[in-house]
Amino acid sequence: MKYYTLLITLLIGAGSAWAQQPLSLSDAIQIGLERNYDIQIEQKNVITSQNNNSWGEAGILPSVRLDVASQNNIRNQQSDNQFFGGQLFPGFELDDQRTYGLTPSLNINWTIFQGNKAIISKRRLEQLEAESMQNADVVIANTLQAIILAYYNAVLEKDRFEAYQTQLELSRDRFRYTDTKYQMGSAVTSDVLLEENNYLTDSTNLINQGLIYRNAVRTLNVLLVSEDINQDYEFTDELIFEVELYDFDELKKTMYSENVDMKKIYISQSILETQVRQNKADLYPTLSFNGGYNWNRNVSDLTNASYTGPNPEYQNPPEPLVSKTGTYFANFTLSFNLFNGGKVNRAIRNAVVAEDIGNLRIEKLETTLDRDLYQAYERYQVRRQLYGISNRSEEAARINYSISEEKFKGGTINSFDFRVVQNNYLTASVQKLQALYNLMDSKVELMRLSGGLIGNYGD
């Protein structure tokens, strides 16, 4: 008996092997949305699209450029016949002629008109930002669905563990009771062996359920990006049946306006339409402006130059020679693309084809979502009925178990019959839990399709 006492102690304590901390569904959702890697990535993509959504990126603003160039030269010149100093000499040599120059320039380039391409580009950048934000909503909706189902799945497996634990405790009590009767001579060996086998079978079931529960908790911890993947919880939200009456027509109407996948594909389609307009803008002429100011200061230093030639009277200038030049310019250019191999027209045709493909994808998504909604709605209605059946079955099995327990103690029924009643009660309890989880799964699926997850859980 000491062995069995130790076994039951270890099994009952298997569900609380780690330190538990309270965790509600709302807390799990908040933690998951803050830590989820995919959501963080999409948030970074949103920031990038927001940075790109500017008039400067669209090309409507001019570009201003400031350049500063310097020229430094040392010149050594030799010639047999060169005009120098206003006279023609048969030969001379000029060494160490130094020239210094500084040329700052300011240039402005501005595309004034290109078929409103800049305005169209700005609109496209706005759409890309909206698409990026909608991508984030899709990831958030998927994450919410995964967290909710993982949370309730962990609750389900914990409730199952407790049901198996109760079953084991009952088997333990019967085994002890039968063993005591055997010691007193009022029970036979076969009765003791039967109860021992039932006890060991229930022990095995509890061990396996403990593993299933711990894996369910680990799955939840992965979604919550928990530092300790084995962190156990005291779940404060339970699986509770809540009557929800849905109107299919209202669900379908809401789905077409609020479904995150539908909203995303509509934005993507608007981007394709804008791309057609952007390509058509290349058919128009381009008017551009280029203006600026150049200033040049040049110094020619011959003060230290060394001159050798037929004119010995040549004298170096006493000071460097300085020249300054300022140039203003403003020019307009009107460009017509007369022919470039049909690239513009091909780009327009390809953009139109891409738009047509986008329309087909919308129709395909609408058909798929219609099917999914019909299936989810019907599945929800069926699971409501199945839960009602399983609830009534569990209640009947519980009453039958109570009656049979009294009969067993009174010796009216044998151990075999009572074991069947006990297993039926356990099966009915587990089926009720599973039916309740299935009902919750269908409810979450309907909320995901109709776009209600973010509105109910994402704020």
pLDDT, tens digit, for every residue of 370-412?
999 999 999 999 999 999 999 999 999 999 989 988 888 787 8
Which residue in 391, 385, 384 sits closest to 440, CA to CA? 384
**4 compared with 408, residue with greater pLDDT:** 408
Mean pLDDT of 349-368: 95
Confidence check: pLDDT of 369 > 80: yes
Share of the chain above pLDDT 90, in %: 54
What confidence score (pLDDT) does residue 354 get?
95
Comparison of pLDDT for 415 and 75, the residue scoring more = 415
Query: What is d(CA 136, CA 368) in angstroms, rounded to the nearest whole number?
Result: 22
CB 351 within 8 A of CB 276: yes
What pLDDT does 173 receive? 83
CATH fold of the domain at 2-62+114-285+341-458:
Outer membrane efflux proteins (OEP) (1.20.1600)
Identify the band that residue 84 occupies on the pLDDT scale cut at 50, 70 and 90. very low
How do residues 108-118 score in pLDDT, each as one tens digit?
999 988 888 89
Give the pLDDT band of residue 88 (cuts 50, 70, 90).
very low
| Cα 139 to Cα 38: distance, rounded to the nearest angstrom | 7
- In this predicted structure, what is the pLDDT of residue 76? 62
The closest of 61, 95, 87 to 304, measured between CA atoms, is 95
pLDDT at residue 259 in the model:
94
Q: What is the pLDDT of residue 416?
A: 80
> Integer distance in angstroms from the first to the last C-alpha of the chain?
56
pLDDT for 299: 75
| Residue 85 banded pLDDT, cuts 50, 70, 90 | very low
The pLDDT tens digits of the residues spanning 401-443 come to: 899 888 887 878 887 888 888 889 989 999 999 999 999 999 9
- For residue 420, the model assigns a pLDDT of 87
Q: What does DSSP say about strands 92-113 and 63-79: parallel, antiparallel, or unpaired?
A: antiparallel
pLDDT of residue 83: 47
**More confident position, 378 or 177:** 378
* pLDDT single digits (tens) 131-167: 999 999 999 999 999 999 999 999 999 999 999 998 8
Exposed/middle/buried for 216, CB within 10 Å: 0-12, 13-18, 19+? buried
Q: What are the tens digits of pLDDT across the range 231-261?
A: 999 999 998 888 788 999 999 999 999 999 9
260-269, 334-343, 430-439, range with the lowest pLDDT:
334-343
pLDDT above 70 for 80: no
Statement: residue 350 has pLDDT above 60? yes
pLDDT tens across 10-34, in order?
555 554 555 678 999 999 999 999 9
